[in-house]
Structure 1
């Protein structure tokens, strides 16, 4: 069985298609998915979705790309994350691609999420785009290793991967690993300890080969796992089994809701 460790089933591209999505998950041996929040405003729709479906869990956070949205205070994050099916804080992090001036508000928002994760004992789901050094600095400064977490959609070099692994974080690989020219990601897929890897789709984005360019969905996480197995020259079942147990280890609440 596989678990899609990062998707956005509440977004418009996937809303209204859930019957089809769950059928594809079942066909491809995907037993569950984590629906990741990107604003406080979208949290009620995520909560309604996971309460209707026993194989879904949620996170709560504000994505670093989002500006004209409700800010996530420490008390608000802690209150929302009390729900038993909220397994992590995020999506959070830094994005210097969309915000090239590296505004301090991004860093302060990230600090707030780290502090919430530490207070609650729940892991972080971290977004990083062109901000690796600052993310590493803030993770150390805010003692994020006490909460742990995952570097979502990891695309950095093996050298950078080792730094996050040394902090105790997991690496999650997306459909990018199936792209022909994704040499860095393929190297990480080969070299990272298998017991520190997760697999994800980031649906509806980043569909893997053979669906590249189309709307992604959780069932397609199978193609991510198959590519990791090919790159490591190991059985697909080993990748599926290990990444699922990794997900349960990082997100203990998932084990209570998703059955093997």
Structure 2
């Protein structure tokens, strides 16, 4: 049974068939889903999903693109929601320089603040880092994130950066990009990294793997990610599924 360690089922693209789709997951080999908030609005929706579905857990936090108007009052709201029984992490948090807004100084401020919060509430972190490799790593080292733990979601850097995060004890989130013909860099990382340090994720509705690239993603597509990892590492797919499921549960403090 597969664990989807990072999904966004609160997204409006699931409005028409959310309940039907989620209810179909278990019979299709998906044991658990962790729904990850990215804004103050999606925190509420994420908590509601965890309360409605036994197999859905959650994470709460503010994505770097959503932190322009963040306040200490919002941090308190994140903190209060993090205490709920099925909230397993602070995330997704981090830096995103792809669009370069809000300003980098603002992104850094709230990334640091949410790392502090994660330490305070004793939860792992889900790190979003795009085109911000060195700043992300520097802040995580400064904040001693190795003592917090968690995952670098949708890992998109090379082997050298992977080594840094693995040395800090972080997991690497592997999703649909591993199946892309232009995903050579990620394939090299997966070949390099121990299977015990990888977790499967969709980031759905985004980043659907081949053969469904370009369509709405869901946890049902994770088998293609597992198969590609198995191919790269020259091991059987069941091993990939079993080990990554254990990894996800350990990372989030879920019952093995």
Relative to the length of structure 2, the TM-score reads 0.94
Structure 1 gaps, min length 5: none
**Once the two structures are superposed, what CA deviation does each residue of 1:70-95 show, in whole Å capped at 9, x if it has no partner?**
44654333222000100000100000
Q: Does 1:207 align with 2:208?
A: yes
RMSD: 1.6
Q: Distance in 2 between matches of 1:85 and 1:101?
A: 31
Which region of structure 1 is more displaced relative to structure 2, 99-108 or 28-37? 99-108
Q: Distance in 1 between matches of 2:135 and 2:47?
A: 32
Deviation at 1:144, TM superposition (A): 1.3
Q: Distance in 2 between matches of 1:63 and 1:169?
A: 19
Contact kept in structure 1, 2:204 and 2:217, CA below 8 Å? yes
* Structure 1 counterpart SS, 2:65: coil
Contact kept in structure 1, 2:198 and 2:247, CA below 8 Å? yes
| Counterpart in the other structure of 2:190 | 189
Structure 2 gaps, min length 5: none
* Structure 1 counterpart SS, 2:58: strand
Runs of 4+ in structure 1 deviating by more than 4 angstroms, as ranges, are: 67-70
Q: Distance in 2 between matches of 1:13 and 1:91?
A: 19
* Structure 2 counterpart SS, 1:224: helix
Deviation at 1:28, TM superposition (A): 3.3
Q: Does 1:58 align with 2:58?
A: yes
| Counterpart in the other structure of 1:12 | 12
* Structure 2 counterpart SS, 1:13: helix
Q: Distance in 1 between matches of 2:217 and 2:27?
A: 15
Equivalent residue runs for 1:127-138 within 5 Å: 127-138=128-139
Structure 1 pair 10/101, CA: closer, same or farther in 2 (3 Å)? closer
Structure 1 pair 207/69, CA: closer, same or farther in 2 (3 Å)? farther
**Highest RCO, 1 vs 2 (Cα 8 Å, sep ≥ 6):** 1
Structure 1 pair 63/22, CA: closer, same or farther in 2 (3 Å)? same
Contact kept in structure 2, 1:178 and 1:227, CA below 8 Å? yes
Contact kept in structure 2, 1:74 and 1:115, CA below 8 Å? no
Q: Distance in 2 between matches of 1:80 and 1:101?
A: 25
Name the one with the larger helix percent.
2
Contact kept in structure 2, 1:62 and 1:71, CA below 8 Å? no
| Counterpart in the other structure of 2:147 | 146
Deviation at 1:180, TM superposition (A): 1.1
Q: Distance in 2 between matches of 1:228 and 1:21?
A: 25
Q: Distance in 2 between matches of 1:120 and 1:8?
A: 23
Pairs aligned (count): 255
Which region of structure 1 is more displaced relative to structure 2, 63-72 or 239-248? 63-72
Q: Distance in 2 between matches of 1:139 and 1:98?
A: 22
**Once the two structures are superposed, what CA deviation does each residue of 1:150-176 show, in whole Å capped at 9, x if it has no partner?**
000001101110011111111010100
Q: Distance in 2 between matches of 1:17 and 1:68?
A: 32
Contact kept in structure 2, 1:41 and 1:69, CA below 8 Å? no
Structure 1 pair 158/26, CA: closer, same or farther in 2 (3 Å)? same
Deviation at 1:33, TM superposition (A): 0.6
Q: Distance in 2 between matches of 1:81 and 1:67?
A: 18
